[in-house]
Structure 1
Amino acid sequence: MKVKPIGLVNSPYKIKKGSPHQGRFSDEISTITIFEEYEEALDGIENYSYLKVIYWMDRADSVTLKVVPHGRTDKRGVFSTRAPVRPNPLGLCMVELIKIDGNVLTVRWLDALDESPVLDIKPFVQELDCP
C-alpha cells in the first residue's frame, strides 16, 4: 500500500497537550496548504461549505488496542473510540471551508496538529453522507 500526502496542515496546535479532543470543540482557524502538484484538484471545491479532511496523525503515541475514552472511566476497544492510538493513525475531521486562496484552504474545526500531512479532502454532501 502506498499513501502520499497532498498537503500540510497549518494549525495553532503545535503539540498534543492543549489541542482539542474533537475539532468541533474549538473555533480556531487553520489552513491547509495543498502541494502545487495537486492544486488543480481543488477546482470546484469552492462550491462546498463543509469538507472531510483525512490526515495522518504522525505524532500519535504507539498503538493501544484498549483505551479509556475521553470523559469515561471504562476501557474500550480502540475501534469503538476516536482515540489517535490506532494501528493506522488516520485522522478524519469535518471542517467548515471559510476561504480559498490559490492552494491554501482556510478552515474551522480542524483538530490536526501543525504540519500534519493531509492525505485527502472530500466534500461533505448531506444527501450522500447522511446515514
Structure 2
Amino acid sequence: MPVDATLPYDDQNIFAKILRGEIPARRVYEDDFALAFPDINPQAPNHILVIPKGAYVSWDDFSARGSEAEIAGFVRAVGTVAREAGLVTSGYRLLANTGPDSHQEVPHLHVHILAGRKLGPMLAR
C-alpha cells in the first residue's frame, strides 16, 4: 500500500526521538500502541498529543499500513487519554493534520486533543 509521498517518514523527527527516549516528554499515557504527552506549545488550556508507537507519517499512512491491533489500540488510547484528563463532560476537539496544506509540522502521525475553553469554529473564515 502506498504511503504519503509528500512527507516521507523521517526517523529523526521529534516524536521518533521522544519514543526512543532521546528527548524527554512528560508522559501522561502509554501502552503498547500509543504515547501521550502535553504539547510544548499549547493552543488551548488542555492540549495533549497522542502518537502511535509505529513509524507512520499521517492518518492516511496509518490507515493503509497499520495492523488492526495498532489501529484499534491507537483509537482506544485517544479516547482513554480524553477520559482520564476529564475532558469528556465539557467537550474536546480532536485534530490530526495530514500534509503540507494542513500545516503538518512533524512527519509522524499525531492527534491533538484540545479542550479547556470554548474553541470556536473549526477554520478561520
Shorter chain as denominator, the TM-score bin is: under 0.3
Structure with greater proportional strand content: 1
TM-score (norm 2): 0.27
Larger RCO: 1 or 2 (CA < 8 Å, sep 6+): 1
TM-score (norm 1): 0.26
Point out the structure with max Rg over C-alpha.
1
Structure with greater proportional helix content: 2
